[in-house]
Amino acid sequence: MDKFVIRGGEPLLGTVRISGAKNAALPCMAAALLTDQPVILENIPQVRDIQTTRNLLAAMGAEVELGFGRAQHRTSIQCANLSSPEASYELVKTMRASTLVLGPLVARCGRARVSLPGGCAIGARPIDLHIKGLEQLGAKIAQEHGYVEASATRLKGAEIAFDKITVTGTEDLLMAATLAEGETVLQNCAREPEVADLADLLNKMGASIEGAGTSTIRVQGVSKLNGAKHRIIPDRIEAGTFIIAGAMTGGDLNIAGCEPTHLEAVLNKLREAGVKLKINGESVRVMGDNPFTAADMSTEEHPGFPTDCQAQYMALATQAEGTSVVTENIFENRFMHAQELVRMGANIKIEGRRAVVRGKTPLQSAAVMCSDLRASASLVLAALVADGETILDRVYHLDRGYEHFEEKLRGVGAQIRRMGDVFGKK
């Protein structure tokens, strides 16, 4: 198991370029299941979850050429014959987003067999809303031996109101509705930019979707979709992570190739805390030369502050003057990083869904453990300002979703290196 060794104390200086959004790329890859023609995706990030999705699609009979190293990371997926419309437990357990194939498979093949994901480090994360929505579209669903089995001759358009806002649930049903007969109206949808990006791709493939990015989406079903070429949007969570890193380390960092309009809640909260930011087209410059102060933050669905930047914000709050109350409203158990930050010297008390962070506390190096993707990012940020050498274990969590994280950080002056576990490697 790889580890990171990080020596803190260096301000991040220079320019870092943002990669394509993992959470947009995953549903766009699943959308390729809806057609027998090639779907070409550019700006696919080179991260573990993309490779897992490649394996998932390939196991069903798809031809997937990941474009890492090619211009624009151009990736091509063709699902001419789907011999086995199944997602096994082996794949779903390593990546919950595998359940995104459920809707497209039942829409295209008339059947799907997908493992139930089970709980994960950040909460229970059920998929009941995906299942309920597919039933409303006319699919017959059975749950057996840990699998969801869905079947339908052809899905039929319906009015579906989500009981709770769900990102991949919205994406799953949106994909299913494109090939359903008649009109589908989805209400109380997730408004994340990744949903709008998926709809953009689906419309290029011949779907008829209006309203993606708002809470009501209308889909006129079509009988067939075509291949298409599409460029994935920049990763707003990666951008948010680097912006916070620039502020925390007292650096002067230019975050290039991002979409600042997708980051408004994060930028506004950082401004409230006194962080100096300059927006220039597709770049955000963060100037960390002044001290920042505590600001309470609550996570919300987009356009609110993203839960995927909560852990990183908590690391920043340890370095702010005063008390910040961080409230996590999306997931019930997303504070695993807090105890590790405490081990580095932070003063954090957890009270249910609230974390009370008292700053500013000097952070010290320690051996710390990554528990999930964004928790790991927050520990890297803490290590960048800690005194001494921090060793971060289980960085495979980071590799799931940050492209070349340590190279990018090193490029702007961080002292970080990857270390293979000498005992673990054969």
Please say which residue, 99 or 365, places its beta carbon nearer to ligand EPU: 99
Subset of 339-398 contacting ligand EPU (CB under 6 A): 373-374
**Is omega for the bond preceding 126 within 30 degrees of 0, making it cis?**
no
CA–CA distance from 152 to each of 7, 82, 209, 267, 309 (Å)?
Answer: 56, 16, 22, 45, 39
- Least separation in angstroms between residue 63's CB and ligand EPU is 23
Binding track over 284-323 against ligand EPU, x by CB under 6 A: -----------------------xx---------------
Q: Does 130 bind ligand EPU (CB under 6 A)?
A: yes
CA distance linking residue 296 with residue 327, whole number of Å: 8
Cβ proximity of 256 and 15 under 8 Å:
yes
Of the residues 90, 128, 210, 421, which one makes contact with ligand EPU according to CB under 6 A:
128
Residue 417's closest CA among 5, 3, 1, 2?
5
Name the segment binding ligand EPU (CB under 6 A); options: 67-75, 162-170, 178-186, 338-346.
162-170
- Token digits of residue 110: 């008339």
Q: Does 26 bind ligand EPU (CB under 6 A)?
A: yes
Say which of 28, 120, 258, 309 is annotated catalytic: 120
Q: Does 23 bind ligand EPU (CB under 6 A)?
A: yes
Cβ proximity of 35 and 225 under 8 Å:
yes
Q: Does 330 bind ligand EPU (CB under 6 A)?
A: yes
Angle between the 336-343 and 373-385 helix axes, to the nearest 10 degrees?
20
Q: Does 102 bind ligand EPU (CB under 6 A)?
A: no
Residue 199's closest CA among 43, 64, 54, 31?
31
Name the segment binding ligand EPU (CB under 6 A); options: 120-128, 148-156, 247-255, 262-270.
120-128
Q: Is 120 a catalytic residue?
A: yes
CA distance linking residue 188 with residue 167, whole number of Å: 11
Q: Does 331 bind ligand EPU (CB under 6 A)?
A: yes
Active site residues: 120
User: Which residue ranges make up the site for ligand EPU (CB under 6 A)?
Assistant: 23, 26, 96-97, 123-130, 164, 166-169, 190, 194, 307-308, 330-331, 373-374, 401
